[in-house]
Amino acid sequence: MAPVHLAMAASIDLPTAVQAESDSSDTDLVCAACEGDRRACYAIWSKYAALVQRLVRRFLGPGPDYQDVCQEVFLRIFKRLHQVRDPAALHGFVVSVTLGVSRNEARRRRIRAIVGLVPDEPFSDMGTSAGQGEAREAARALYGMLDTLSAEDRSLFVTRFVEKMEIAEVAEAHAMSLSTAKRRLARLMSRVNARVQASPVLMEYMGSIGQGGSS
C-alpha cells in the first residue's frame, strides 16, 4: 500500500459522505485511506484532531506554535499509515506518533533555549485578572519543572499524570514493557514529588502526585 499524505485530507471539500466515513471503524478508515480514499483521510483527521491537539498542548504547554506541531503529527501519521500492522489499533498509533513528535519538539526547544533562541512569553495569552494571573504562574512553574526532565520522562509524566492513561497504555505508547514502565514511573514520581514539595506554587496547584505511577 502506498503512503498517504496530509494534502489528501486537507484538500477535501467536506462531502456529506464524510460523516458516514467518520462513523466507520478504525480498521475501515485505515484500509480506505491507504487505498487513497480522501474521505477516509479527512475522517481520520476529524476523529483524532482533538486528541492530538490536547496531547500536544499538555506536553508542550501554551504557545503560539502548537498548531504547527499538530500539523507535523498528522504529516507523520499519514506518511506512516501504511505501516500500521493492526488497523484496529489506530488510536494507540496516533498517540504514539503524537508523543514522538512532541518529544522531538521539546528537544528542539531545549536546544533553542541553550543558544538563546527563546520564543515570546508563552503564557501571555492566559489573561490578566487575579485568578488568571495565579493560573499563569502555576502553569509557568509546572512547565518550568517539566523542562528539567528528559523528553521521555516528560512524555511519561504527561501521559500518566496529566492525560491519566492506564499504565498499560503508557507502556504501549512508549514501546516499553509494563514492568519497565512501572519502574520508570515510580522513579519519576519520586523526583517530581520532591520538586513539587519544594515549590509553594506547585504544591498549592498540584499537591502530592500520590501513588498513581506504579499501580
Q: What is the mean pLDDT of each run of 10 residues along the chain (215 residues)?
A: 48 46 80 93 95 94 84 96 92 96 90 64 50 71 88 95 94 96 95 86 68 53
> What local confidence, expressed as pLDDT, does residue 23 receive?
56
CATH code for the domain in which residue 53 is found: 1.10.1740.10
Residues 131 and 177 in one domain: yes
Residues 101 and 162 in one domain: no
Report the b/e string of 108-143 with b at 16+ CB within 10 A: ebeeeeeeeeeeeebbeebeeeeeeeeebebbbbbb
> What local confidence, expressed as pLDDT, does residue 197 receive?
85
> What local confidence, expressed as pLDDT, does residue 198 receive?
84
Residue type, 127: G
> What local confidence, expressed as pLDDT, does residue 144 receive?
86
Q: Which of 44, 47, 69 is CA-nearest to residue 56?
A: 69
State pTM to two decimals. Answer: 0.77
> What local confidence, expressed as pLDDT, does residue 137 receive?
80
> What local confidence, expressed as pLDDT, does residue 42 receive?
94
SS3 of 149, please? coil
Residues 110 and 177 in one domain: no
> What local confidence, expressed as pLDDT, does residue 204 receive?
75
Residues 108 and 147 in one domain: no
> What local confidence, expressed as pLDDT, does residue 207 receive?
64
Residues 170 and 83 in one domain: no
Of 86, 106, 122, the residue that ends a domain is: 122
Domain that holds residue 66: 1-122
> What local confidence, expressed as pLDDT, does residue 39 receive?
93
Q: How many domains does the chain have?
A: 2
